[in-house]
Amino acid sequence: MPAGGRPTVRSRRLGAALRRYREAAKLDQQHAADHIVGSKAKISRIEAGQVSAKPGDVRLLLELYGVEDRAAYQQLEQLARDSNKRGWWLNFDWITKETGFTDFITLETDATYIRTWQPLFIPGLLQTDDYLRTLLSSGLTVHSPESVEEVLAVRRVRRGFIEEDGARFATIIWEPALTAPMPSAKVHREQLLHILHVAQRQNVQVQVLPMSEWRAAHLSSHFVMLSFGPEPAPEAVAYDTTTSTVLVEDLEEMAAHARIFEALSAAALTPDQSLSFIREVLASIPESEKEAE
């Protein structure tokens, strides 16, 4: 049984992938069970994510299904090894209380490609500590100093996912999120400088959607697309509501979001033009502007 006595997002991903390969091979669950000397019920529970498959069983099943892609073997065997692994985020109680956020953090941790569209805010993985503090202080919820520090600690770990050689990260940001005055000019300047710094990494791409591209900006509200293999085909989409994080794994929904991201990218400035634009915005923030208390 996966950790916690219920399916984990990793065990569900593994089970769903094994089911797709079995169905593509036109084999039933009994064939799979016989091959690993198990029961049909075991295969059913594995495919439902209710139990964790052993890496050896994963290898045998992929061989039975005629899978030749060695990257698929590596990815799914690693997923089997990690299914019961305690996540770093479980050290922070507030994460487990946020509906859907635990599953999102698990997916983000495992992702090889992260693509996000943000019309209102700086993308989370690019936010500085002071920018995030400003957001937290501007909301209706009152946060204790301790809870703010926990949120910041989690965000610092998450920012590490796109350090050099980490996940490939592409973001499209609508112009107002970058240009609208912030309560503190200092926070504003430091945030833009941080984006310019991170954008120098080989695995990071930042694009700005100009204000004039109103139609493109309204194709969708914010979202994050996540992929887990060597190719960027989306395998999960996430977005936040006021009180929770929603995960979408429907194939048609993911394909629609991929098309929207492509349209946004085509309408946006190129990465080089985007960085030049951010530098111009940075230069326009007066050093003498009065800082907010």
Question: What pLDDT is recorded for position 131?
Answer: 97
CA dist list (Å): 14 to 49, 92, 102: 7, 26, 17
Question: What pLDDT is recorded for position 114?
Answer: 97
Least confident segment among 83-92, 159-168, 265-274: 83-92
Question: What pLDDT is recorded for position 291?
Answer: 47
Question: What pLDDT is recorded for position 160?
Answer: 92
Neighbour-count burial of 243, counting CB atoms closer than 10 A to its CB (0-12 exposed, 13-18 middle, 19+ buried): exposed
Domain-embedded: residue 293: no
Residue 185 and residue 63 share a domain: no
Better-predicted residue by pLDDT, 88 or 133: 133
Residue 152 and residue 133 share a domain: yes
Residue 197 and residue 123 share a domain: yes
In our burial notation (b when 16+ CB lie closer than 10 A, e otherwise), range 111-138 reads: bbbbbbbbbebbbbbbbbbbbbbbeeee
Full-model pTM:
0.85
Confidence band, pLDDT 50/70/90 cuts, at residue 91: confident
- φ, ψ at 129 (rounded to 5°): -60, -45
Domain end residue (candidates: 82, 108, 134): 82
Question: What pLDDT is recorded for position 174?
Answer: 98
Contact predicate 278/208, CB 8 Å: yes
Domain-embedded: residue 229: yes
Alpha carbons 192 and 200: distance in angstroms, whole number: 13
Domain-embedded: residue 248: yes
Domain-embedded: residue 148: yes
Alpha carbons 227 and 35: distance in angstroms, whole number: 30
pLDDT over 70 percentage in the chain: 95
For residue 172, give the CATH number of its domain. 3.30.870
Looking up tokens 């002071």, which residue turns up?
130
Q: pLDDT digit string (tens) for 237-287?
A: 999 988 889 999 888 999 999 999 999 999 999 999 999 999 999 999 987
Q: Look at the chain and report how many structural domains it folds into.
A: 2
Confidence band, pLDDT 50/70/90 cuts, at residue 7: low
Domain end residue (candidates: 50, 82, 114): 82
Question: What pLDDT is recorded for position 138?
Answer: 85
State which residues form the domain around 38: 3-82
Confidence band, pLDDT 50/70/90 cuts, at residue 84: confident
Question: What pLDDT is recorded for position 86?
Answer: 79
Question: What pLDDT is recorded for position 4?
Answer: 41
Residue 162 and residue 21 share a domain: no
62 pLDDT more than 60: yes
Domain-embedded: residue 289: no
Name which of 203, 183, 210 is nearest 280 in CA terms: 210
Residue 109 and residue 53 share a domain: no
Alpha carbons 198 and 124: distance in angstroms, whole number: 13
Contact predicate 119/217, CB 8 Å: yes
Residue 277 and residue 193 share a domain: yes
Domain end residue (candidates: 37, 53, 82): 82
CA dihedral of residues 229, 49, 47, 248 (deg, nearest 10): -60
For residue 66, give the CATH number of its domain. 1.10.260.40
Confidence band, pLDDT 50/70/90 cuts, at residue 292: very low
Residue 67 and residue 16 share a domain: yes
Q: What is the mean pLDDT of residues 210-223?
A: 96
Residue 225 and residue 131 share a domain: yes
Question: What pLDDT is recorded for position 234?
Answer: 92
Question: What pLDDT is recorded for position 3?
Answer: 43
Residue 157 and residue 27 share a domain: no
Domain-embedded: residue 291: no
Residue 154 and residue 276 share a domain: yes
Domain-embedded: residue 116: yes
Q: pLDDT digit string (tens) for 8-26?
A: 788 888 998 999 999 999 9
Domain-embedded: residue 247: yes
Residue 227 and residue 119 share a domain: yes
Question: What pLDDT is recorded for position 290?
Answer: 46
Residue 248 and residue 215 share a domain: yes
